Amino acid sequence: MCETNAFNTDIGKRIRQLREGQGKTREQLSEAAGISAQFLFYIETGRKSMSAMIEIYLRVSMSVHTCGLLMPCCVFDEVRAGQPPPVCGLPMLAGRVSVRPQYLH
């Protein structure tokens, strides 16, 4: 039986919101991040935690900075109802770096 905790559940929901806000399927995001769709499902539902590297792969695949993932989405509800929450404004390296470094292949 899988255990969930509040942190995993909150982060998982946030990843799903960002993914859906970008119009990506679970399969598209998991492929871009180099993980299985099943593992992404477990992350999004809070059933599994992820390593720091997987968190980086997911963020880069979605062009989201750390605070865009960790910031509670309720902060943005009044600001941009119905739109994906903004990121903190720090530039991302998406498109300029490989999501999966050579040594992991």
Give me the mean pLDDT over the 61-69 stretch: 80
Q: Using pLDDT thresholds of 50, 70 and 90, give the confidence band for residue 45.
A: very high
Q: Using pLDDT thresholds of 50, 70 and 90, give the confidence band for residue 97.
A: very low
**Alpha helices (runs of H) in 1-105, residue ranges in sequence order:** 6-21, 26-33, 37-44, 52-62, 66-70
CA distance 105 to 16: 26
Q: What CATH number has the domain bearing residue 67?
A: 1.10.260.40
- Domain assignment of residue 42, yes or no: yes
Q: Which pLDDT score is estimated for 46?
A: 93
- Domain assignment of residue 1, yes or no: no
Checking if the pLDDT of 9 tops 50, the result is yes
Q: Which pLDDT score is estimated for 79?
A: 39
All residues at 6 or more sequence positions from 92 whose CB lies less than 8 Å from its CB, including other chains: 60, 63, 64, 65
Per the structure, how many domains does the chain have?
1
What is the reported pTM? 0.66
